[in-house]
Structure 1
Amino acid sequence: MLCEYSKASLHFCQECNNLLYPKADPQRRIMVYGCRICQYDDMVENKCVYRNDLLTVTKEQVGVTTDLGADATLAHSNIPCPKCGNDDAVFYQDQSKRKETRMILFFYIGVHDYNAVVITVYFVNICYPSKFQRHFPVRHCEI
């Protein structure tokens, strides 16, 4: 069986109930699951030892947050918004561990219009440290 179609699972020793670890058997030239306590080993049907499923993709969307402008722990910027002219933006860096998204800044600009808060989100790639206005906004969403 291929690893992408099978599930990696834990195997336990039939003699002492300890965890079996994958190891190579050089005499038989196969992979076996072996016990580190009692030297029991079991032949492997499923050769999948570890499977890393990356099913969740970080969405570049706004969560249900309406008080980002009042959060004192986030950094503030005084660069004016090219759309509305508001010069108070809250920003933070993307927290995902994926290589292609780790240098993304999220800018939240709160605009008060008739007591309704509209949050504008800008995704700025800071790999290109040119003037902020040249690549602002890369992507624009309003909720």
Structure 2
Amino acid sequence: MEEEWEGQQDVGVAEEEEQEDDEGDILDMGEDDQETNEKEGLLMRFCPNDSSMLYPQEDKRNRTLQYSCRLCSYKEATPQYPLIYRNNLKHEVGNVLNNVPSSIADDPTLARSQNAKCSNCNHNEAVFFQSDVAQADSLALIFVCCNCGHKWVN
């Protein structure tokens, strides 16, 4: 007795357009949400032959992205907008100097310069380092005055 499963191939699209949230409440999934998810390719896809999950793979001959099954030879073209992963940033990175604490001047492991004159207090000693937040093509150093904690980029 073999049963054929004829269900929807895309996870996330319910027939009655309803979903449950974390507390079990039923949420109405509007048509706009469905169209956005389908348009952006955010839905999981499954093989019609063996119900395995389809994985993104490059078609090197045609230089396109496609979904393929790891268990059988089934392949499927990606949607018009082949989004595989979306990384939503919660906030933008601000000014690099705002992220550097003034107390970093007390760190004995950082390099020190006796020739870096602070524009705030005219002290000559400062610690300096290259920030990992700085752009890759930039060789700017961040200086922090050992006397007053003033920060500047050189």
TM-score by length of structure 2 reads: 0.52
User: 8 Å contact 1:18–1:37 — kept in the other structure?
Assistant: no
Q: CA deviation at 1:69?
A: 2.1
Is 1:41 equivalent to 2:75 in the alignment? yes
Higher helix share: 2
- Given that 2:97 and 2:152 are in contact with CA atoms closer than 8 Å, whether structure 1 keeps it comes out as no
Q: How far did 1:32 drift? A: 3.0
Count of matched residue positions in the alignment of Structure 1 and Structure 2: 111
5+ residue gaps in structure 2?
1-38
Unpaired segments ≥5 residues, structure 1: 1-5, 112-117, 125-143
Task: Provide TM-score, normalisation by structure 1.
Answer: 0.55
Which of the pair is proportionally richer in strand? 1
Q: Radius of gyration: which is bigger? A: 2
Q: SS at the partner of 1:62? A: helix
Change (3 A) 1:31 1:62: closer
CA distance 1:8–1:71, shift in 2 (3 Å): farther
Residue 107 of structure 1 contacts residue 122 of structure 1 at CA under 8 Å; is this kept in 2? yes
2:20 aligned partner: none
CA deviation digits over 1:69-122, x for unaligned, max 9?
220111111014153221210100121373343x110000033xxxxxx42111
Report the RMSD for the aligned CA atoms in angstroms: 3.7
Alignment of 1:68 with 2:107, yes or no, is no
Percent of residue pairs bearing the same amino acid type: 21
Paired residue for 2:142? 106
